[in-house]
Every structure is written in structure tokens, then in C-alpha cells.
């Protein structure tokens, strides 16, 4: 059986054209994908994106730096800068808890049960709820933070549903 790559080639050309259009219009709100691509190009020191993928912790740190960088560029427009910084720090801590949860779920330590892993998930849920409640006054000021908070909330609810449904067995 011969594999036909015409559709794949067409898709790759379309993505390259779309990426070129985003790079040509940096001031026209290319969204999160454009900002991430731009930051990766800057951090690699060349015109091409970084070749090696970053570990999850470094990705979270890079995203936090990008989002905080946007806050630093417009300090006069954002009077709640300290609150946003604290919120990003809390979100970073929550992402670290997610890393711990994934590690505990993937490689349970000796004597560690699913109850202990679930208690970690409940702790994450509490942190997300606390973060959401604590940042109610600044939501809407930074779309990147709003998106991050929304993703954290969705991941937590989905994981709790999967856990309660019985997807994970001891």
C-alpha cells in the first residue's frame, strides 16, 4: 500500500502560510499562539523556533514570563500589577501541583494509594477555587491570565470527573 502525502503537504503549506501571516502582522493581535511563537524565536536567539521541546515546568515558567512581560510593558494602564503578579505566582504553584499529581498518578510511590492521589487533586481544586476568588477584581484585564485560569479550572473539573468515574484503578 502506497501512502499518499499530498494532503499532508497541503496542510503543512497552509500552516506555513498562516504562520507567515501572523509574523507579518505583529501588531494585529495574533493571539496566544503568535506570542508564544515570537517568544520562542526570541529565546532561541535565531529566526527559527527552538528545536528541542521544553520540559513541562520550563513551559509553565516561559508562559508565566510571557504573561508577566505583558503586564510590565503597560504599568500605567494596570494599577493592580502587584495583584496580577501574585496571581501568576499562585497559578505557577498550581501548575507545580499538577506536575506532582501527574507524577503520583503515573508512578505511585510505595504505600501511596489512590486516596492520597485524590487528596492531592482536591488540594489542586481548592487552589484553583482560591485563585479564582482572589482574582475576581482583575479578571478581564489580562486575557492570558483569564485563559490560564479557565484552563486550570477545566482540567481540574475533568480530572475529578474521571477520578470519580473510576478511570484509575489501584
Query: Per the confidence metrics, is the pTM higher than 0.75?
Result: no
The domain limits of the chain are 54-170
CB-CB neighbours of 68 under 10 Å: 19
Whose cell is 506532582? That residue is 100
Burial class of residue 169 (count of CB atoms within 10 Å of its CB; 0-12, 13-18, 19+): exposed
Give the pLDDT of the chain (170 residues) as one tens digit per residue. 566 677 777 777 888 887 776 555 555 555 777 777 777 777 665 554 444 555 555 556 656 665 665 544 444 444 567 777 888 888 888 888 988 888 888 876 666 678 888 889 999 999 999 988 888 877 777 788 888 889 999 999 999 999 888 888 75
Q: What is the CA 153 to chain-centroid distance, rounded?
A: 12
> What does the alpha-carbon distance between residue 157 and residue 71 come to, in Å, rounded to a whole number?
29
Amino acid at each position: 500500500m502506497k501512502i499518499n502525502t499530498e494532503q499532508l503537504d497541503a496542510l503543512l503549506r497552509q500552516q506555513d502560510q498562516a504562520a507567515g501571516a501572523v509574523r507579518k502582522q505583529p501588531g494585529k493581535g495574533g493571539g496566544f499562539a503568535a506570542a508564544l511563537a515570537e517568544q520562542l524565536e526570541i529565546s532561541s536567539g535565531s529566526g527559527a523556533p527552538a528545536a528541542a521541546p521544553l520540559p513541562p515546568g520550563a513551559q509553565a515558567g516561559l508562559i508565566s514570563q510571557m504573561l508577566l512581560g505583558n503586564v510590565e510593558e503597560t504599568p500605567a494602564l494596570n494599577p493592580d500589577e502587584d495583584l496580577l503578579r501574585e496571581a501568576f505566582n499562585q497559578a505557577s504553584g498550581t501548575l507545580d501541583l499538577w506536575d506532582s499529581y501527574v507524577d503520583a498518578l503515573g508512578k505511585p510511590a510505595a504505600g501511596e494509594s489512590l486516596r492520597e492521589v485524590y487528596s492531592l487533586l482536591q488540594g489542586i481544586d481548592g487552589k484553583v477555587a482560591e485563585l479564582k476568588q482572589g482574582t475576581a477584581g482583575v479578571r478581564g484585564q489580562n486575557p492570558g491570565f483569564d485563559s490560564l485560569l479557565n484552563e486550570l479550572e477545566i482540567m481540574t473539573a475533568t480530572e475529578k470527573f474521571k477520578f470519580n468515574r473510576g478511570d484509575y484503578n489501584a
